[in-house]
Amino acid sequence: MFDSLSDKLDNALHVLKGHGQITEVNVAETLKEVRRALVDADVNYKIAKDFTNTVKEKALGQDVLTALKPGQMMVKLVKDELTQLMGGEAEGINLSGDPSVILMSGLQGSGKTTFSGKLANFLKNKKTKKPLLVACDVYRPAAINQLHVVGEQVGVEVFSDEGNQDPVAISKAAIAHAKQNGHNVVIIDTAGRLAVDEAMMTEISNIHEAIQPHETLFVVDSMTGQDAVNTAKTFNERLNFDGVILTKLDGDTRGGAAISIKSVVNKPIKFIGTGEKMDALDVFYPDRMADRILG
Ligand code: GDP
């Protein structure tokens, strides 16, 4: 995960790590390299620039140049700032409802159905949760089947109503079914399109308004880089979602989406998808991710 970014940051900081004493000049040069590494990883230029400016200010404020171990101090400053950029603390999902209703949003192919299954599995394993998966893609029968396959894999019931063209009605019927059958979490998988379009946005906004979910999650493919950030912005403007799910972090994604998304939409990344299997799901901890990136 993020091997290229890790290597580049390691190279950038390497010069400082070796110095007993460092100068303002090599701090500036190092930060320039750090900025380049971030931009290469698909982080927006302005975010990368703000990042290195902040680190520089903090370094000067903390008298890094006269510190006992200046190199280590710089590495720590970069790590702390990276953690902040990615969200600071880890944030869970709101499960306070009975049932708690979780709405998935995102483009087709982003990994919504897969993540819905993973989340159902994750919650089911907590023992106190009995999830219900809901198929709300009224355009693609194959998508409904896919959710049934996923539900079977994780041993979670799937609610669907093939032929019903009204996702609001399906969602409401599913919530009623959950109440009658003791499901305390309802996970609604919705239809996605290959690109953001008005019809999709209206549909998901209508579902959102009608069912008032406890948690609205935006699922995005991290491989799409800066596009992931732009799509997040568009969905957030319409849904004011609660959190982001970054999928496909197991691929050779450059990492830019993971680093930039929080600062652009100001919503936390809550989980990451790290594979196609139903257990390939991790809670997102910004500090652990920063540790991983900086080695
Ligand atoms: P949806 O259209 O948003 O419901 O997307 P799907 O859940 O159908 O996922 C699209 C494709 O991405 C499928 O082939 C999934 O197996 C794959 N996929 C989803 N999440 C991940 C992940 O975290 N890692 C990898 N490698 N593949 C994933």
pLDDT of residue 142: 93
**The ligand 1 atom nearest the CA atom of 219:** 3
* 111 is known to lie in a ligand binding site: yes
pTM: 0.94
Q: How many Å lie between the centroid of ligand 1 and the Cα of residue 161?
A: 23
Looking at residue 86, its amino acid is M
Pocket of ligand 1 (CB under 6 A): 106, 108-114, 192, 247-248, 250-251, 273-276, 280
CA angle 177, 105, 145 (to 5 degrees): 55
pLDDT of residue 19: 66
* 103 is known to lie in a ligand binding site: no
Q: Pick from 266, 232, 231, 271: which is nearest to 248 by CA?
A: 271
pLDDT of residue 242: 97
Q: How many Å lie between the centroid of ligand 1 and the Cα of residue 62?
A: 45
- Residue whose token pair is 């709101």: 94
Long-range contact set of residues 162-169: C-beta below 8 Å, sequence gap at least 24: 164/138, 165/138, 166/138, 167/136, 167/138, 167/191, 167/203, 167/206, 167/207, 168/206, 168/207, 168/210, 168/211
Q: Which residues contact 201 (CB under 8 A, 6 or more apart)?
A: 234, 235, 238
Q: How many Å lie between the centroid of ligand 1 and the Cα of residue 215?
A: 21
Q: Give every residue of the chain whose pLDDT is below 50, as ranges.
A: none
The dihedral of CA 108, 111, 116, 117: what is its sign? positive
Q: Is 103 helix (H, G, I), strand (E, B) or coil?
A: strand
pLDDT of residue 20: 63
Q: Pick from 203, 166, 164, 190: which is nearest to 101 by CA?
A: 190
